Structure 1
């Protein structure tokens, strides 16, 4: 199924585009970054708030936010001495929903196999 609002991708994909796509997957392929994005899904937050939510160190959270920021996935704004992070590219959640749906289907299929084998 193709979304009619999504831009059409050339086929075969040019090498430069393949690299950009691979970079995006590498950026979000880190569990801590997925946790941070999940928390930011409910609204902007400071590093301190994200540290409390994830249980990670401030240094670790800042490092991962920097990677997400460099990739254009999150944005930041400064208010006094605090920096607030928010999701800048909401399309990232569509990707996560697609992956989660796929994982749910795989788990359901595996469960059906195991239930059938136990009969």
Structure 2
């Protein structure tokens, strides 16, 4: 939708700055970051995600509801089971970039995105 104006939206006066802050606020929760990392390559049920992030299914469901409202995750129903997956690569990229920034900050990595041939 905004492909033609992409460079225009990347200015300090962009109408999307406040929405970007909301995205960062949503991702400022360790459980949601772990959920996104778990969903990087897989479609998973609430129970499977709960096992992975070591939280109760109820807690994970609440986090998934927030991620669904923000359109970061989507669902697929199979009988009575619901499977979650990332809607697109944006949330994945944000979380991976944040993890790589954290690693870089503490000196555990020296590679940069431009040095990587493959982006997650």
SS at match of 1:108: coil
> How many pairs were matched up?
104
Structure 2, gaps ≥5 residues long:
109-120
Contact 2:36/2:95 (CA < 8 Å) preserved in 1? Answer: no
Greater Cα radius of gyration, structure 1 or 2: 1
Q: TM-score, normalised by structure 1?
A: 0.76
- Shift in Å at residue 77 of structure 1? 1.2
Q: Any runs of at least 4 consecutive aligned residues in structure 1 with deviations exceeding 4 A, and if so which? A: none
Q: Which has the larger share of helix?
A: 1
Structure 1, gaps ≥5 residues long:
1-5, 110-119
- Shift in Å at residue 26 of structure 1? 1.0
| CA pair 10-47 structure 1, distance change in 2 beyond 3 A | closer
Cα root mean square deviation, aligned: 2.2
Q: TM-score, normalised by structure 2?
A: 0.76
